[in-house]
Structure 1
Amino acid sequence: MSQAPIYRIQNLVHQYHSSTVLEIDELTIPKHTIVGLAGPNGSGKTTLLKMLAFIEKPSKGLIWFDENKAEPFSSKVRFQVTYLPQVPYLMKRTVIDNITYGLKIRKDPGDHRQKCFEALSMVGLSGEEFADRKWFELSGGEAQRVALAARLILKPRVLLLDEPTANVDENSSRMIRRASLLAREKWNTTVLIASHDLDWLMNICDDMIYLFQGQLSGRGKYNILFGPFYQDAEGVWWKQIGTGQRFMISRPPLKNSAAVILSSDMHIFSQTDSTFPESNTVRGMLTNLRIEKSRSKVIATILVDGFQFIADLSEEQKQNSNFYPGKEVLLSFNPNNIKWQ
Structure 2
Amino acid sequence: METRAAIREEGIPAAPPLFELRDVEFAYGGRTVLSLRHLAFPQGAVVGLVGPNGSGKSTLLKLLALLLAPTRGQLLYGGQVAAGREGELRREVTLLLQEPFLLKRTVFENVAYGLRTRGLVEGVSERVEEALSLVGLSPKRFASRQWYQLSGGEAQRVSLASRLALRPRALLLDEPTASVDESSALLIKEAVVAASSEWGTTLVVATHDLVWLHEVATDVVSLYRGRVAGHGAENLIQGSWVLDPAGGLRRPLADGQWIRALGPEGSDEPPSVGILGPSDVTLATEKPSHLSAQNLLQGQVTHMALENGSGRVLVSVNVGGLLLKARVTPEAVLSLGLHPGLEVWAIFKATALRWL
TM-score by length of 2: 0.85
Give the direction of change, closer, same or farther, for the CA distance of 1:291–1:160 in structure 2 (3 Å limit). closer
Q: Aligned residue for 2:201?
A: 189
- Separation in 2 of the partners of 1:326 and 1:20? 42
Give the direction of change, closer, same or farther, for the CA distance of 1:305–1:233 in structure 2 (3 Å limit). closer
Given candidates 179, 193, 212, the residue that maps to 2:224 is 212
Q: Residue 288 in 1 paired to residue 285 in 2?
A: no
SS in 2 for 1:320: helix
Q: Aligned residue for 1:325?
A: 340
1:244 to partner: Cα distance = 5.3
1:75 to partner: Cα distance = 4.0
- Separation in 2 of the partners of 1:145 and 1:59? 34
SS in 2 for 1:155: coil
1:307 to partner: Cα distance = 4.2
Q: How many residues matched?
A: 338
Give the direction of change, closer, same or farther, for the CA distance of 1:282–1:167 in structure 2 (3 Å limit). farther
Give the direction of change, closer, same or farther, for the CA distance of 1:219–1:157 in structure 2 (3 Å limit). same
Q: Aligned residue for 2:276?
A: 261
CA contact (8 A) 2:23 2:73 kept: yes
Q: Aligned residue for 1:335?
A: 350
Q: Aligned residue for 2:114?
A: 102
Q: Aligned residue for 1:14?
A: 26
TM-score by length of 1: 0.89
SS in 2 for 1:317: helix
1:224 to partner: Cα distance = 2.7
SS in 2 for 1:333: strand
CA contact (8 A) 2:271 2:355 kept: no
SS in 2 for 1:57: coil
Q: Aligned residue for 1:155?
A: 167
- Separation in 2 of the partners of 1:321 and 1:134? 53
Q: Aligned residue for 2:314?
A: 299
Residue by residue over 1:92-127, the C-alpha shift from the partner in whole angstroms, topping out at 9 and shown as x without a partner, is 222212111101111211232322221112122222
Q: Gaps (5+ residues) in structure 1? A: none
Give the direction of change, closer, same or farther, for the CA distance of 1:99–1:315 in structure 2 (3 Å limit). closer
1:157 to partner: Cα distance = 0.5
AA paired with 2:159?
A
AA paired with 1:9?
L
SS in 2 for 1:88: coil
- Separation in 2 of the partners of 1:308 and 1:72? 43
- Separation in 2 of the partners of 1:64 and 1:72? 11
Deviates more, 1:13-22 or 1:298-307: 298-307
Give the direction of change, closer, same or farther, for the CA distance of 1:117–1:244 in structure 2 (3 Å limit). farther
Q: Aligned residue for 2:190?
A: 178
- Separation in 2 of the partners of 1:165 and 1:72? 33
CA contact (8 A) 2:240 2:272 kept: no
Give the direction of change, closer, same or farther, for the CA distance of 1:328–1:3 in structure 2 (3 Å limit). same
Q: Aligned residue for 1:86?
A: 98
Deviates more, 1:162-171 or 1:37-46: 162-171
Residue by residue over 1:213-260, the C-alpha shift from the partner in whole angstroms, topping out at 9 and shown as x without a partner, is 111111233323245533355554233555755422331456666433
Q: CA RMSD in A?
A: 2.6
1:185 to partner: Cα distance = 1.3
CA contact (8 A) 2:295 2:350 kept: no
SS in 1 for 2:86: coil
Q: Aligned residue for 2:4?
A: none
CA contact (8 A) 1:7 1:64 kept: yes
Given candidates 250, 273, 276, the residue that maps to 1:238 is 250
Residue pairs, 1:34-49, within 5 angstroms: 34-49=46-61
Q: Residue 275 in 1 paired to residue 275 in 2?
A: no
Deviates more, 1:328-337 or 1:76-85: 328-337
1:134 to partner: Cα distance = 2.2
1:155 to partner: Cα distance = 0.5
CA contact (8 A) 2:264 2:354 kept: no
- Separation in 2 of the partners of 1:330 and 1:135? 51
Identical aligned residues as a percent? 36
Q: Aligned residue for 2:212?
A: 200
Give the direction of change, closer, same or farther, for the CA distance of 1:129–1:246 in structure 2 (3 Å limit). farther
CA contact (8 A) 1:212 1:226 kept: no
- Separation in 2 of the partners of 1:215 and 1:311? 24
Q: Gaps (5+ residues) in structure 2? A: 1-12
SS in 2 for 1:129: helix
Given candidates 132, 135, 146, the residue that maps to 2:147 is 135
Residue by residue over 1:162-184, the C-alpha shift from the partner in whole angstroms, topping out at 9 and shown as x without a partner, is 01121222222222221121111
- Separation in 1 of the partners of 2:149 and 2:128? 18
Deviates more, 1:233-242 or 1:78-87: 233-242
Residue pairs, 1:105-120, within 5 angstroms: 105-120=117-132
Q: Aligned residue for 2:326?
A: 311
1:139 to partner: Cα distance = 2.2
Q: Aligned residue for 2:76?
A: 64
1:275 to partner: Cα distance = 2.9
1:284 to partner: Cα distance = 2.5
